[in-house]
Structure 1
Amino acid sequence: MATDGVHLLEHIKTPAMVVARGQVRFANSAATALLGAHIIGQDVRIAIRDPKAVAAILSEEGGTARISGLAVGGSLWEVDCRVLGDGSRLVSLYDLSERVSVAKSHADFVANASHELRTPLANVIGYVETLMNPKAGGDEALRERFLGTIRHEAQRMQALISDLMSLSRIEAVKHEVPADLVDLVPLAREVVGEFRDGSHVTLHTNCDSAPLSGDRGQLAQVLRNLIDNALKYGGPDGPVEVSIEAAQTGWVLVCVRDHGEGIAPEHLPRITERFYRADASRSRAAGGTGLGLSIVKHIVERHRGRFDIESRLGNGTSASLMLPLRDGPAG
């Protein structure tokens, strides 16, 4: 391979090597970072210890092979070998790990969504078929009970579809930083006011105004989801405290705290995953879709903020988010 071609390889981010007579004659920085600087001058069978990859590299016409664990366990790479005019081989290494991971995540998401919809749908069909039986349908008390269950299951499906659509919309714009001016204090007062009837939600602020660049609808959704969660799992008639604290560092801290049973520590790392529930039966009974905290996390990340959940069994749960202020704290 010509010298200028070798120099060109040094400037690309894809790991690349030149192999001649079975030896690695050149490896760019990306390749040595991946495999180690010692591979230069080494037999390619030692540099890449995978029979499929070596066979593709040493074959007369070149070829491709997929190998796993090249960099770290669980990683997936494609080795592509092209035979050059002088008989040397250009070997490029492509990391497929993220692509495979995304595909698996999408497949898992569809499977989980299908499962979540299938259960209430099966219940609705079962109860409707029972009510179609003249004997069961003629019993007024039984009919009322079954219709109540059908309504509950239909509402579960409606809530799940609404959250799925919401999550889809959020992910579609996740790379677009919101630019509208939103004042978090009056927005929080408005959202908290929606929960005043029959609930004990209070709001405390250290400022009259907390302006930031954001999407008003999404920020309202974050507050609603967190307050709704706190009311569901904070115990009967338990108080929910919402606080807003603007700091001189240019950030605003929003915290939603309940005094319920709390969350076991083994669940906390996964609590924002889609469809993950610390207490599945309790969540479904309360009408939870398993997507609320995932939606919150995605919205906070879109606003370039940070989201955290702290909890101790028997001592309640505190969900907090930090968002960058637009013009610094006011009030």
Structure 2
Amino acid sequence: MTTNSTTSSSFAAWPDRLRRSAIVLMAVMLGLSASVMFGGLSLQHAGLIFICVLGAALVPWSLHHAVPVTDDQAGMRPAEAPVVQALVGGMPEAAVLLDRAGRVLHFNVAAAQLAPALRKNELALFALRTPEIITALRQAIATRESQRATYVDRVPIERWMEVIVTPLLLPTAFGGTEYCILMTFHDQTPLRRVEEMRADFVANASHELRTPLAALSGFIDTLQGPARDDVRARERFLGIMHAQATRMARLIDDLLSLSRVELSAHVRPDTLVDIVPLVHQVIDGLEPLASERQVTIEAEFPNTAVTIAGDTEELLRLFENLIENGLKYGASGGRVAVSLTEPSTNDGSEIRFAVRDFGPGIAPEHLPRLTERFYRVDVGDSRAQGGTGLGLSLVKHIVQRHRGRLLIESVFGHGATFTACFPTLKGAAKE
């Protein structure tokens, strides 16, 4: 089928070839006529020569069918062709196309945002002055082989970038090729940050576990040795060992809970939960701690059910962490206010659960980092209170999984307020 269509197109092109070769054929015919009349050339030989010239005019010399070239494309370089510009412009990451001398031929929007100094027909080195980029570009030009380089872009924010410099041979309209260079930039920042976070997480977790493990090991050696028959020492050491074992158990429990929440962060809970009885359940369970710390819990809830799409166990953990923190770190204020408010109008606004203590408050420089893993305002006080440094990080991830947000407000010396905002069912349906 393809051969037949190709043959048909070749026959259809013969009239065009005859018209284009008409002048040449006429000149040949006149020359042969003159040779027959005055030069003694036989008519038979003249006819044979004319048939050969006619065949040469009709049969194309190229073995492949030529692609028609418009007048606009005839003087256009391959790198300036619309299809090449569309490919570079459509790349999702920053891309810059250069000629063999390193001048910019084309770049996309992402590259313009990455390097605002890029200009067409100017050397890329003027806009990309990073030593790693310059070295990779020069090596690619010299060797005509792909080069990779990693560098850190510190302005306006710190980012880890990888640049790949790839030499290309673009076909020209007349069967030749043009040598160009494609530079693509890949943002490695998310991967680097995940690696750093994982390394910090392992380091902090091992550090937090090392202290209680060392204490347990030391007390066990003491009880097996010098204090084997000392009843008072045994009772004292066993109490400390129990506290350290409880601390490790809480730390491991918080680590597992945090891992579970992070693994399911992309799956939004869809079970309808009335959070009013959940908060009452948490407050009743923390009454012994409130009595021990001599703190009064002031609760303010609506008389009707407050229903959200959520995970019951995670919500219980969230309410427990926030109220327990208020009882532990705001005990000096003598009271903790727990409130649950619904939006005033049914417009899809937020449901807010707030815990306010009247303790010493939190200094402003600590507020941005409170939800980081293992971050503590006062390490000694946190460990004395039995904290693991993971409570607020767990709260943040639970709130985010429920498509809400966590607000932290504090005036140093006047207490702190932690507010978990959840979308209403109407707002969740809109999302």
TM-score of the alignment, normalized to the shorter chain, above 0.5: yes
Q: CA deviation at 1:73?
A: 4.7
Q: Distance in 1 between matches of 2:243 and 2:332?
A: 20
What is the total number of aligned residue pairs between the two structures? 327
Does residue 257 of structure 2 align to residue 177 of structure 1? no
1:136 to 227, 238, 245: 227
Distance 1:93 1:185 in 2: 51
SS state at 2:304 partner? coil
Deviation (angstroms), 1:136: 1.6
- Report the secondary structure of 1:309's partner residue: strand
Question: Which residue is 1:220 aligned to?
Answer: 316
1:123 aligned residue = 215
Q: Quote the Cα distance in structure 1 between the aligned partners of 2:289 and 2:181.
A: 74
Find the counterpart in structure 2 of residue 13 from structure 1: 92
Match of 2:256 in 1: 165
Q: Following the alignment from structure 2 to structure 1, what is the Cα–Cα distance between the partners of residues 415 and 113?
A: 47
1:183-202 matches, cutoff 5 A: 183-197=274-288, 199=290, 200-202=296-298
More displaced 10-residue stretch of structure 1: 313-322 or 8-17: 313-322
Contact 1:207 1:245 in 2 (8 A): no
Deviating more after overlay: 303-312 vs 272-281: 303-312
1:29 to partner: Cα distance: 1.5
Structure 1: state its 5+ residue gaps.
Answer: none
Conserved? CA contact 2:88–2:106, under 8 Å: no
Q: Report deviation, 1:111.
A: 0.5
Aligned position for 2:152? 68
**Matched residues in 1 for 2:179 and 2:382: separation?**
64
- Please tell me whether residue 111 in structure 1 is matched to residue 196 in structure 2: no
Does the C-alpha gap of structure 1 residues 71 and 282 become closer, same or farther in structure 2, counting only changes over 3 Å? Answer: closer
Which deviates more from structure 2 when the two are superposed, residues 27-36 or residues 162-171? 27-36
Aligned ranges for residues 306-317 of structure 1 at < 5 Å? 306-317=405-416
SS at match of 2:104: strand
1:190, CA displacement in angstroms? 2.0
Change (3 A) 1:151 1:6: same
* Amino acid corresponding to residue 147 of structure 1 in structure 2: L
Which of 186-195 and 95-104 deviates more?
A: 186-195
| Alignment CA distance shift 1:313-1:32 (3 Å) | closer
Structure having the higher Rg? 2
Structure 1 range deviating more: 286-295 or 31-40: 31-40
**Larger displacement relative to structure 2 (159-168 or 234-243):** 234-243
Residue 57 of structure 1 pairs with residue 148 of structure 2? no
Matched letter for residue 358 of structure 2: H
1:272–1:294 contact (8 Å) kept in structure 2: yes
Q: Distance in 2 between matches of 1:310 and 1:252?
A: 17
Residue of structure 1 equivalent to 2:424: 325
Relative to 1, partners in 2 of residues 1:312 and 1:72: Cα closer, same or farther, differing over 3 Å? closer
- Separation in structure 1 between the aligned mates of residue 268 and residue 252 of structure 2, nearest angstrom: 26
1:238 matched to 2:322? The reply is no
SS of match in other structure, 2:287: coil
Higher helix share: 2
Q: Is the 8 A contact 1:207 1:246 kept in 2?
A: no
User: How far apart are residue 201 of structure 1 and its match?
Assistant: 2.6
Distance 1:198 1:299, change over 3 A: closer
**Amino acid in structure 2 at the alignment position of 1:303:** H
Hey, what's the Cα distance between the residues in 2 that align with 1:70 and 1:244? 43
CA distance in 1, matches of 2:151, 2:383: 42
How big is the shift at 1:184?
1.5
Give 1:179 shift.
0.9
Q: How far apart, in 1, do the equivalents of 2:375 and 2:324 lie?
A: 17
Percent identity among equivalent residues? 41
**Secondary structure in 2 matching 1:147:** helix
- Please say if 1:292 is aligned against 2:372: no
CA contact (8 A) 1:210 1:325 kept: no
Structure 1 CA distance, aligned partners of 2:414 and 2:302? 25
Which amino acid counterpart does residue 156 of structure 2 have in structure 1?
A: V
Contact 1:303 1:323 in 2 (8 A): yes
Aligned with 1:262: secondary structure? coil
Q: 3-state DSSP class of the match of 1:39?
A: coil
Q: Which residue of 2 aligns with 1:274?
A: 373
Counterpart check, 1:30 vs 2:122: no
**Worse-matched range after superposition: 181-190 or 270-279:** 181-190
Q: SS at the partner of 1:121?
A: helix
Query: Is the 2:88–2:97 Cα contact (8 Å) retained in structure 1?
Result: no
| 1:229 corresponds to 2:309 | no
In the TM superposition, structure 1's runs of 4+ consecutive aligned residues that sit over 6 Å from their partners are none
Q: CA deviation at 1:55?
A: 2.5
In 2, distance between residues paired with 1:10 and 1:37? 17
CA contact (8 A) 2:117 2:127 kept: no
- Name the CA shift for 1:73/1:272 in 2 (closer, same or farther; >3 Å): closer
Which piece of structure 1 moves more, 47-56 or 301-310? 47-56
SS of residue paired to 2:361: coil
Which whole-Å CA distance do the structure 1 matches of 2:111 and 2:270 have between them? 41
Alpha-carbon distance in structure 2 between the residues aligned to 1:88 and 1:26: 11
Q: Which amino acid aligns with 1:217?
A: E
SS in 2 for 1:130: helix
Residue type matched to 1:160 in 2? L
Greater mean alpha carbon deviation, residues 163-172 or residues 296-305: 296-305
Residues 323, 46 of structure 1: alpha-carbon distance in 2 compared, 3 angstrom cutoff: same
Shift of 1:196: 2.8
Q: 1:280 to 1:114 in 2, by over 3 A?
A: same
- In the alignment, the residues of structure 2 paired with residue 201 and residue 217 of structure 1 have an alpha-carbon distance, to the nearest angstrom, of 22
